[in-house]
Structure 1
Amino acid sequence: MSYENILSSFENNVTTITINRPSKLNALNRATIKELHQAFKVADDDKNTKVILVTGSGEKAFVAGADISEFADFSVSQGEKLAAEGQALLFDFVAHLSTPVIAAINGFALGGGLELAMAAHFRVASDNAKMGLPEVSLGVIPGYGGTQRLPQLVGKGRAMELIMTAGMIDANQALQYGLVNHVTTLEELLPLAEKLASKIARNSSVAIASAIDAVNAGYEDGENGFDAEITQFGKCFGTADFHEGTQAFLEKRKAAFPGN
């Protein structure tokens, strides 16, 4: 499938999705959000894709924010619709994919860019990366889940400071905050992400999908994470992956998970 604003490639059970608008520092417009939704859906539906990597083209930006020119003259109702549709189409969609998503942050991840990275299941960053939610400097707030996911990741106080100051933090500060899991050089960023993806791909994709559901449940209103864990734990016992994994352990061999 061809896209105008993104690239998608597949190798070694990993689909890499690259936001490709370098002249706009990979800013998210509505067309790019739609293409990202489609690319993530295709990858998630592909049984051969065990991990999805998302990154930005070039060496300056993961995603430098949303395309402000698209909504500068919006009304209240249009603003609400923009946030609701964007969350449903991309950000919540990514967070709840059954396929693990790793964000490789290669430069600026601001506004909607940081919100996309936070929707991924975890993040790695290059040492030139800068992250922040500058929306209040424009008279608006993060609208793609930033006010919810940032406190979950770094704590309420730090999130409040970052949001209210509209400031940026560097990669090492993000690592200290727990916003990213690893920091490396720009040259080693994708190799590191691919190494992590390879480790994930060796495990049961069915069990990983259950784990994602259970972890997400603990952060959702009206859901009991412990109950979700019990349910997902039980479901695993009915899978071919569970049978293969336990038999391989008992037989002292590597598991060859069928993925069902």
Structure 2
Amino acid sequence: MNLKNILSEIRDGILYLTINRQEKLNALNKTTLAELAELVIYAGQQADVSAVLLTGAGEKAFVAGADISEFAGYNAAEGEELARNGQESVFNAIEHSSKPWIAAINGFALGGGLELAMACHIRLASENAKLGLPEVSLGLIPGYGGTQRLTALVGKGKALEMILTAGMITAAEAEKVGLVNQVVPQKELLTRAVSVIQLIQKRAPLAVAAAIRAVNAAGEDGINGFEMEITEFGRCFDTADFKEGSGAFTEKRQPEFKGN
């Protein structure tokens, strides 16, 4: 895979992805979004990848928004197509990936950057991180799921406050309102993210994927989340991993899951 704006490496079952546009504070442009779309597919297809760790290059920004210069001249139809394509190929694709995506927010996560982090399954932030959706200050609204995912994470009132004021919040406040899972010192961010992934790697891969599908169903129109949970729960009984996990429990040993 020939990547221009994203650094990619697999180590110990983790696909490390670093958005590498430091001079632009890692802002999302068309090329970066296209590369992310490829990488979501790639991660899902690789048997040796159990999780993805996504971060930004440097210590200033995770992703400080979208590259406005690329769409400043768009009309309504072009803007809608931009949002729809990004939603389907990147943001929704990450959220519905069978592999857990962990966002390590190492600075500014604004606009499309915060939307990217919210599409991930777990978010860790460095103490210096600032998060916000400032689109209304540009005459826009969030277009990559920000209005929906922020509301689901922090509630309608806080989501409206953040979006309508276009203000940023600190990492500490983001943790308090449930926008991020943990806040750690900058130098410990990647280490802590890896430790979270290592805990997930000890669990049954098929059950992890089933849990992602069931949790995602809670916020999807036309889908009964309880029915989805029941279905996924039942399917787990037909897996070798369930036999191994239950056997290990009764035998008081550590399970060795194979993902089948």
Q: In which range does the TM-score fall when normalised by the shorter chain?
A: over 0.9
Q: CA separation in 1, counterparts of 2:101 and 2:202? A: 15
CA shift digits 1:199-229 (9 cap, x unpaired): 0001001000000000001100001110000
**2:32 aligned with 1:32:** yes
- Match in the other structure for 1:9: 9
**2:82 aligned with 1:60:** no
- Match in the other structure for 2:223: 223
- Match in the other structure for 1:252: 252
- Match in the other structure for 2:178: 178
Instruction: Name the amino acid aligned to 2:207.
Output: A
Q: What is the CA distance between 1:11 and its match in structure 2?
A: 1.1
- Match in the other structure for 1:147: 147
Deviating more after overlay: 1-10 vs 143-152: 1-10
Q: CA separation in 2, counterparts of 1:255 and 1:168? A: 44
- Match in the other structure for 2:159: 159
- Match in the other structure for 1:92: 92
Q: What is the CA distance between 1:37 and its match in structure 2?
A: 1.3
Q: CA separation in 1, counterparts of 2:119 and 2:88? A: 12
Q: CA separation in 1, counterparts of 2:2 and 2:102? A: 22
CA shift digits 1:8-66 (9 cap, x unpaired): 11111111111000011000001100101112221221112111110000010000000
Q: Matched residue of 2:17: which SS?
A: strand
Q: CA separation in 2, counterparts of 1:85 and 1:51? A: 24
- Match in the other structure for 2:203: 203
Q: Kindly, what percent of the aligned residue pairs are identical?
A: 58
Q: TM-score w.r.t. structure 1 length?
A: 0.99
Instruction: Name the amino acid aligned to 2:235.
Output: K
Instruction: Name the amino acid aligned to 1:104.
Output: A
Q: Matched residue of 2:109: which SS?
A: strand
Q: How many residues align?
A: 260
Instruction: Name the amino acid aligned to 2:147.
Output: T
List, as ranges, runs of 4+ consecutive aligned residues in structure 1 with deviation greater than 2 Å.
Answer: none
Q: Matched residue of 1:4: which SS?
A: coil
Q: Matched residue of 1:188: which SS?
A: helix
Q: Matched residue of 1:142: which SS?
A: coil
Instruction: Name the amino acid aligned to 1:111.
Output: G
Q: CA separation in 1, counterparts of 2:191 and 2:43? A: 20
Q: CA separation in 1, counterparts of 2:134 and 2:147? A: 12
Q: What is the CA distance between 1:247 and its match in structure 2?
A: 1.1
Q: CA separation in 2, counterparts of 1:253 and 1:48? A: 24
Q: CA separation in 1, counterparts of 2:179 and 2:22? A: 24
**2:131 aligned with 1:131:** yes
Q: Matched residue of 2:99: which SS?
A: coil
Q: Matched residue of 1:137: which SS?
A: helix
- Match in the other structure for 1:77: 77
Q: Matched residue of 2:244: which SS?
A: helix
Instruction: Name the amino acid aligned to 1:94.
Output: I
Q: Matched residue of 1:28: which SS?
A: coil
Q: Matched residue of 1:35: which SS?
A: helix
Q: Matched residue of 2:131: which SS?
A: strand
- Point out where structure 2 has 5 or more consecutive residues left out of the alignment: none
Q: Matched residue of 1:53: which SS?
A: strand
Q: CA separation in 2, counterparts of 1:121 and 1:137? A: 28
Q: CA separation in 2, counterparts of 1:96 and 1:241? A: 22
Q: Matched residue of 1:98: which SS?
A: coil
- Match in the other structure for 2:50: 50
CA shift digits 1:137-182 (9 cap, x unpaired): 0000000000000010000000000000000001001011110010
- Match in the other structure for 2:113: 113
